[in-house]
Amino acid sequence: MAGTGENLAKTGGEASERAAESLTTLLLKLQLELAEVAQLIEAAEAVLCRVHGDGKHVNPEDVPVIQGMDLAIQKTKGLSDFLAELAGDAPQDWLIDTTTALNVLTLSELQQRLRPYPVRDTELRQAAGDTELF
């Protein structure tokens, strides 16, 4: 579902001060998150390749999956670089209210990193959606 642009405002607009954040800052946060995702996929790909050894024992049905991981890395890095460039060109005085968008995130740690303001530790402990199994 696409946004309507109602959350974007110039400084002094209607975005609440608590949730308003510079569009540039938000784009850079998203850029860092995507760069981290690319690193995680690369690490998983390296593990998968080690498991399969020198490639002689790779199941032909697994090749598209490995190629897909490589494509996911390239796309994620490309989007990360794209956001960094957009951040460099975004007007510094544009603010965006991220309240609604943050509510769709189910990982509280990610939600916390993308917030324009710090969240108290007690609020983090009450967040749903995170499960740590390892």
- What would the mean pLDDT of 7-24 be, rounded to a whole number? 65
Q: What is the pLDDT of residue 2?
A: 46
- Confidence check: pLDDT of 87 > 70: yes
What is the rounded CA–CA span in Å between residue 22 and residue 9?
Answer: 10
What is the rounded CA–CA span in Å between residue 89 and residue 111?
Answer: 25
- Confidence check: pLDDT of 93 > 90: yes
What 44-47 contacts at long range (C-beta under 8 Å, 24+ apart), as own/partner pairs, is 44/69, 45/69, 45/70, 45/73
- What would the mean pLDDT of 41-46 be, rounded to a whole number? 90
Q: What is the pLDDT of residue 54?
A: 60
Give yes or no for a contact between 7 and 97, defined as CB atoms under 8 angstroms apart: yes
Closest of 117, 44, 116, 36 to residue 83, by C-alpha:
36
What is the rounded CA–CA span in Å between residue 16 and residue 14?
Answer: 6
- Confidence check: pLDDT of 24 > 60: yes
Q: What is the pLDDT of residue 1?
A: 42
* pLDDT tens-place string over residues 47-73: 887 776 665 677 788 888 889 999 999
Higher pLDDT pick, 94 / 7: 94
> Mean pLDDT score of the chain, rounded to an integer?
80
